[in-house]
Structure 1
Amino acid sequence: MDLVQLTGVHRRYGSGGNAVLALDGVTIGFPAGSFTAVMGPSGSGKSTLLQCAAGLDRPTSGSVRLAGTELTELSETGLTLLRRDRIGFVFQAFNLLPALTAEQNVELPLRLAGRRPGSGEVRAMLAAVGLADRRRNRPAELSGGQQQRVAIARALVTRPEVLFADEPTGALDSTTGREVLGLLRGLADRHGQTIVMVTHDPVAAAHADRVVFLADGRPVDELARPTARSVAARMTGLEAVRPC
């Protein structure tokens, strides 16, 4: 069953002759418990797709549903509450508050929601991402990979139904990036976490259950059980047919 479902989604920016069609009638689903990578050439609509699916941007037309909730019908307040309580976000920039410790950064979403973190709740989440012994360190005292792990723990502390990740390893070296991707893979395998990840990296995409390829604002191909080699070959094919 699809946890996230987009149906006939268009997203147009601007108007008249200056209008840009970022998404062109996208219909796609993301099954519960799956790990999906979204790829495509520059300007294909990857980030716009993620933003519309996550309720960060409103489509011009079409339907976006999360576990039966129609996002396009929600008010701005309703969208804010949905994003806070039911969706997790991880981005290329770690977006940690430098004055707070790792533990304080992770508990921040709970405090913003008016919840008092339960005893051991935040520490357990840090332990799950392998940082139990770094909870009192501030971001400047952590490596890039450790900072991204803190960001992942922060995204998961509210127990979201879906985790959206936009180039989560883009600021990391290859070794650290593989460690973070292994963590995401483990979340899907061991905890049934639904993950939708935008990436340009075939190695990153190979950690997913399937890869969805976009071109010109539309899904044009899918690849199940991807390998870095098969993903790179599909991307090469998409780039080759792009107009000059």
Structure 2
Amino acid sequence: MNERGQTTDDAIQLRSVSRRYGSGADAVTALDQVSLAFPGGTLTAVMGPSGSGKSTLLQCAAGLDRPTSGSVTVGGTELTKLSERKLTLLRRQRIGFVFQAFNLLPSLTAEQNVALPLRLAGRRPARARVREVLRQVGLGERAGHRPTELSGGQQQRVALARALITRPEVLFADEPTGALDSGTSREVLALLRGMVDREGQTVIMVTHDPVAASYADRVVFLVDGRINGELAGASADGIAARMTQLEAVPC
């Protein structure tokens, strides 16, 4: 149990994960022997200078990209041994995604956008469940509105509801507040924090924003594709200071 009373069994484990692109003299190592565990029921932020491997780490952990070497395990299932078909099914059934771009279909209502993952999986979405998730993100009264009728923050809430409709074991968020103003960002971050605290949701968030990272239980830092320490329960100022140190280190 952690201090919030949540179980801390690892939701995801990376063991000696490397990801290289290209070959020979032109090869680029985006991740270099990364071993990292993400406890269930916690919010972890991943930070680092530009080009440090943050997005590659997220993509490998979520099964969007295959490591060159090493292993990734999600809830006891090793991703590196799965076929493409089984990997697609696992992502669809057990993993949720929220990105900086909301990626909503403009012709669909909020309710229809949220139900889309279930329809794509060949499942008939229960309207009550869709409405429940929209209420969860504070949009119970906006189910019939299309994206153009919603603010940026409301659109990101719809994207969050869409990610949660399948009850994912892990929610990955890649710069989820990058397109939002500071006030709206805090609302979305408070939603993510609340899902962790109240429902034991596991969230892994890539961000460049120290304020966003301060909502996390811990912040993991990457530099040149390697883990460069972490902070637990840090303030935005403390996280910003650490980032300043990392960015000042000569390559």
**For this structure pair, what is the TM-score category when the shorter chain's length is used for normalisation?**
over 0.9
Query: How many residue pairs were aligned?
Result: 243
Residue 160 (structure 2) aligned to one of 140, 152, 158: 152
Matched, 1:241 2:249: yes
Matched, 1:227 2:218: no
Residues in 1 aligned to 2:44 and 2:218: alpha-carbon distance in whole angstroms:
5
Deviations 1:122-172 (A, max 9, x none): 000000000001000000000000000000000000000000000000000
Residue 88 (structure 1) aligned to one of 58, 76, 96: 96
Residues in 1 aligned to 2:115 and 2:96: alpha-carbon distance in whole angstroms:
14
Residues in 2 aligned to 1:176 and 1:3: alpha-carbon distance in whole angstroms:
29
Structure 1: stretches of 5+ with no match in the other structure: none
Residue 35 (structure 2) aligned to one of 24, 27, 35: 27
After TM superposition, the structure 1 = structure 2 runs for residues 82-231 of structure 1, keeping only pairs within 5 Å, are 82-231=90-239
Deviations 1:26-64 (A, max 9, x none): 000000001000000000000000000000000000000
AA at the equivalent of 1:144: G
Matched, 1:49 2:52: no
Residues in 2 aligned to 1:233 and 1:118: alpha-carbon distance in whole angstroms:
47
Offset at residue 119 of structure 1 (A): 3.9
| Dislocated runs of 4+, deviation >2 Å | none
Structure 2: stretches of 5+ with no match in the other structure: 1-8
Equivalent position of 2:86 in the other structure: 78
Equivalent position of 1:40 in the other structure: 48
Residues in 1 aligned to 2:233 and 2:176: alpha-carbon distance in whole angstroms:
20
Residues in 2 aligned to 1:215 and 1:119: alpha-carbon distance in whole angstroms:
45
Equivalent position of 2:5 in the other structure: none
SS at match of 2:172: strand
Offset at residue 193 of structure 1 (A): 0.2
Offset at residue 242 of structure 1 (A): 3.0
Kindly report the root-mean-square deviation, in angstroms, between the aligned alpha carbons of the 2 structures: 0.6
Offset at residue 116 of structure 1 (A): 1.0
SS at match of 1:120: helix
The percentage of aligned residue pairs carrying the same residue is: 74
Offset at residue 209 of structure 1 (A): 0.3
Deviations 1:42-88 (A, max 9, x none): 00000000000000000000000001100000011011000000000
SS at match of 1:132: coil
Question: TM-score of the superposition, structure 2-length normalised?
Answer: 0.96
Matched, 1:15 2:23: yes
Question: TM-score of the superposition, structure 1-length normalised?
Answer: 0.99
